Amino acid sequence: MAFPTETVYGLGANAEDPGAVARVFEVKGRPPSHPLIVHIGGAEQLGNSVEDVPETARLLAERFWPGPLTLVLRRGRRVPLEATGGLETVAVRVPDHPVALALLSAFGGGVAAPSANRFGSVSPTTASHVRVELGDAVDFVLDGGPCEVGVESTIVDATGDVPSVLRPGGVTREDLEAVLGFPLAVPSTSRVRVPGQHPSHYAPRARVVLVELEKLVVEAELAQELGHRVGVFLPPAIGGASVKVHAAVEIPDSMAAYARGLYGFLRELDQRGCDLIFASLPMEAGLGLAIANRLRRASGPRPSD
């Protein structure tokens, strides 16, 4: 069953039922070593999924839940290893969406859910994206309209004293640090590994090419001349200019609107038949950090990396 959250649509199953969890991996085509996020209806249910809740985790949960923040904590015994990809930690969050919260409250337990897309592809931000991705393999899709945030939750390793960000997302680093009152640890010092974070995640069919803003139009037009069907993400500074490429989307002015539209833009350019998508990275602050992270991953490993 697929359901809306404020970030992206999730493909849900009873987190405590190993058979149901296995089915999620099967439908998604995801290797079983990639852990799922357990969704709960409120912070008071955290004790059912995790072993203990350090003070910093409690603080972050109080401030950001419901919301696009996922906390990685020590796994409670009720969460089977199937849901955590064999890890002794578990990722948990309370989504900020009325349909998700109604579902979780009616169900009462934890719902393990990855994004409702095929493994490695772009996350769905509408119910129809889910149908396109998963077809008949999913029995029903709860339609809660387009997702407000549009990029996945921020994942924070909160198992130690100083939390670190494992995946940038809907809650910004700046917001987290303002609440904590101290800087987050750098991810490389994190004690947990980050499975499912390989470079080609979030990829559309077309190849994403990242270029500097100053060269964006020139390079896109050159590739088009060379015979590619080029799509381009036009930043507000360039927006409206006539660019000689196959298709263009104008990036909204605000980072929030950009994040909300990001996956839809990638899908749109795919649908319009582009084989290359040219884009520049936004400033890597606030939500720009998550957007840049997804664009980098969509572009896959580059020869110069």
Which is nearer to Mg ion, 115 or 125 (by Cβ)? 115
Which is nearer to Mg ion, 121 or 190 (by Cβ)? 121
Smallest separation (angstroms) from ligand TXA to the CB of 166 = 5
Which is nearer to ligand TXA, 2 or 248 (by Cβ)? 2
Looking at residue 227, its amino acid is G
Give which of ligand TXA, Mg ion, none residue 73 binds (C-beta under 5 to 8 Å, depending on kind): none
Q: Is 32 helix (H, G, I), strand (E, B) or coil?
A: coil
Tokens matching residue 124: 């769905």
Q: Which residue has the tokens 């490429």?
A: 245
- Residue 84 lies near Mg ion (rule: CB under 5 A): no
Can you tell me the distance from the alpha carbon of 247 to that of 67, in angstroms, rounded to the nearest whole number?
34
Q: Are 245 and 220 in contact (CB under 8 A)?
A: yes
Closest CA to 8 of 71, 96, 73: 96
User: Which stretches of the chain bind ligand TXA, using CB under 6 A?
Assistant: 5, 7-8, 10, 34-37, 68, 70, 72, 84, 87, 89-91, 95, 113-115, 152-153, 155, 166, 192, 194-197
Smallest separation (angstroms) from ligand TXA to the CB of 96 = 10
Residue 73 phi, psi dihedral angles, 5° rounding: -135, 175
Which is nearer to ligand TXA, 25 or 278 (by Cβ)? 25
Which is nearer to Mg ion, 134 or 216 (by Cβ)? 134
Strands (E), the chain: 2-3, 10-11, 13-14, 37-39, 69-74, 89-93, 111-113, 154-157, 164-167, 207-210, 230-234, 247-250, 276-279
Tell me which of 70, 115, 121, 224 binds Mg ion, using CB under 5 A: 115
Residue facing Mg ion at closest CB distance: 115
Smallest separation (angstroms) from ligand TXA to the CB of 191 = 10
Q: Is 233 helix (H, G, I), strand (E, B) or coil?
A: strand
Tokens matching residue 255: 């980072």
Smallest separation (angstroms) from Mg ion to the CB of 30 = 9
Smallest separation (angstroms) from ligand TXA to the CB of 139 = 17
Binding site for Mg ion (CB under 5 A): 115
